[in-house]
Amino acid sequence: ELRLRPAGSETPTWPGQTAAGSRVKPTRLRIEADEAQFLAELLPLLESRLPERPPLALTAPPCPADAGPLHPLAVAEEVRHVLDPADLLVADGGEFGQWMRAGFRDLPNRQLVNGKLGAIGNAIPQAIGAALANPGGRVFAFLGDGTFSYHAAELDTAVRERLCPVILVGND
């Protein structure tokens, strides 16, 4: 059963906090339902209202050998040829890392990404941590040259710990 009703003048509060001290806005609509049943019924309704869209198709521009710098998607296409499904991929938040993330979007590999907000600097430390957590497994990190300058010295940590993550730096 799903009931929708105006919430009245109630203001939600955290335990031990008075309504007057709350920064939470008053509710305008209260939903009373079993959560699992509510979601099971709501999701098909939402999906039925989404517009039909063709699948996202990303294709790297042609890159002849003498054409200059490669587009990051062309790099991703080449890297795909050497990846195994068990390889772990780390994509930094900068532009190069985001292109790699897009280029690997359909792979079954485990991927460490920092979300879509674009913060940079995570790739080398995450690759080292992933290599420590996955002894004998292959780890690939994709980052731009700016990100590389944040934690380049951490490669010394990888050497001292006898770790071998593959670090691919894009000049973006």
With tokens 């939903």, the residue in question is: 31
Q: What is the pLDDT of residue 127?
A: 95
Confidence of residue 42 (pLDDT cuts 50, 70, 90): confident
Whether residue 143 has pLDDT greater than 90: yes
Q: What is the pLDDT of residue 9?
A: 44
Residue 141, helix vs strand vs coil: strand
Q: What is the pLDDT of residue 12?
A: 46
- H/E element, 72: helix 72-80
- pTM for the model: 0.65
> Would you say 76 and 103 are in contact if contact means Cβ atoms under 8 Å apart?
yes
Confidence of residue 33 (pLDDT cuts 50, 70, 90): confident
Crossing angle (nearest 10°) for helices 95-103 and 72-80 = 40
Q: Looking at 45-115, which runs of residues are DSSP E strands?
A: 88-91, 110-113
Average pLDDT of span 31-58: 76
Average pLDDT of span 90-98: 91
139: its two tokens: 């780890």
In degrees, rounded to 5, the angle at the alpha carbon of residue 92 between the alpha carbons of residues 90 and 111 is: 25
> Would you say 93 and 144 are in contact if contact means Cβ atoms under 8 Å apart?
no
β-pairing, 30-32 vs 3-5, is antiparallel
- Top pLDDT among 18 and 143 is at 143
With tokens 């010394």, the residue in question is: 156
Range with lowest mean pLDDT among 4-8, 109-113, 115-119, 151-155: 4-8
Average pLDDT of span 113-127: 85
Average pLDDT of span 136-156: 93
With tokens 């989404």, the residue in question is: 50
